[in-house]
C-alpha cells in the first residue's frame, strides 16, 4: 500500500464515521474499506458482550456466511483474543499452525492463512472489541499496514463511543421529556 492510498482510505473511513451514528452501518463500511484497500480476503469486527466473556460478530466483509456464523468467540477459549484484549497487536503468518486460534478447522475451510488482530479501544484505554484482517495466502504485514490498521481500529473505537454517547443522550432527553409531560399532566 502506498502512503497516498493509505491516506485516502483513512479519509474515506473518517467520512463514513461522520456520516452516520448507526454503529453497524459504519463498522460494515470500515470492514469493507479495510479489506479492499489492503487487498485481503476479509475483515471482521467483533465487540465484547456486556459480560466481557464473548466477542460478538458485529461487521464483516469478504467472509462467507458460514464462517461468520461459525460460533461465538469465547475469550476463555481464544488465547489470541486474550492477548489482544490486553492491548497487544498480533500478526500471525499461518493460523492453520497456531494453537491459539479457536476455530482452526473453520479457518482452513474458509481458506484463511495469515491474520492480524488489533484491539478496539474506547476513550483510548478500555478495550471494547477486536479488528481482524485475514489473508488467503501467507503474508507478512508491513509496519505501514500495521500503522494503518491501528489508525482504523482507533477510529472504529471512536465511532462506537460517539454512537453510544449519542444514544445515551437521546435516551436521557426522551426520559426527561416523558417526566416533564407526566409532571405537567
Pick the more confident residue, 179 or 94. Answer: 94
The pTM of the full predicted model, rounded to 2 decimals, is 0.86
Q: How confident is residue 1, by pLDDT bands cut at 50, 70 and 90?
A: low
The Cα 52–Cα 150 span in angstroms is 22
Contact present, 150 and 130 (Cβ < 8 Å): no
Checking if the pLDDT of 185 tops 70, the result is no
Checking if the pLDDT of 155 tops 80, the result is yes
126 SS3 class: strand
118 SS3 class: strand
Structure confidence at residue 180 (pLDDT): 76
Residues 6+ apart with CB under 8 A from 134: 40, 41, 42, 43, 44, 62, 63, 107, 110, 112, 113, 114, 115
Strand partners, 128: none
* % of the chain exceeding 70 in pLDDT: 98
* 45-54, 59-68, 117-126: least confident range: 117-126
The closest alpha carbon to 9, from 157, 116, 148, belongs to: 148
Structure confidence at residue 87 (pLDDT): 92
Total Cβ atoms within 10 A of residue 90? 18
Q: How confident is residue 164, by pLDDT bands cut at 50, 70 and 90?
A: confident
Amino acid at each position: 500500500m502506498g502512503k497516498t492510498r493509505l491516506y485516502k482510505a483513512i479519509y474515506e473511513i473518517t467520512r463514513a464515521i461522520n456520516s452516520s451514528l448507526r454503529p453497524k452501518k459504519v463498522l460494515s463500511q470500515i470492514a469493507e474499506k479495510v479489506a479492499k484497500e489492503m487487498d485481503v480476503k476479509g475483515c471482521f469486527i467483533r465487540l465484547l458482550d456486556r459480560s466481557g466473556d464473548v466477542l460478538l460478530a458485529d461487521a464483516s466483509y469478504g467472509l462467507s456466511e458460514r464462517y461468520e456464523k461459525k460460533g461465538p468467540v469465547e475469550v476463555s477459549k481464544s488465547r489470541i483474543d486474550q492477548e489482544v484484549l490486553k492491548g497487544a497487536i498480533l500478526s500471525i503468518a499461518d493460523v492453520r499452525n497456531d494453537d491459539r486460534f479457536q476455530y482452526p478447522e473453520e479457518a482452513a475451510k474458509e481458506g484463511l492463512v495469515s491474520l492480524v488482530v488489533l484491539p478496539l479501544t474506547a476513550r483510548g484505554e478500555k478495550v471494547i472489541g477486536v479488528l481482524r484482517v485475514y489473508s488467503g495466502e501467507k503474508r507478512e504485514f508491513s509496519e505501514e499496514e500495521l500503522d494503518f490498521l491501528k489508525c482504523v481500529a482507533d477510529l472504529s473505537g471512536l465511532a462506537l463511543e460517539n454512537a453510544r454517547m449519542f444514544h445515551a443522550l437521546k435516551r436521557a432527553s426522551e426520559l426527561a421529556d416523558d417526566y416533564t409531560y407526566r409532571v405537567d399532566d
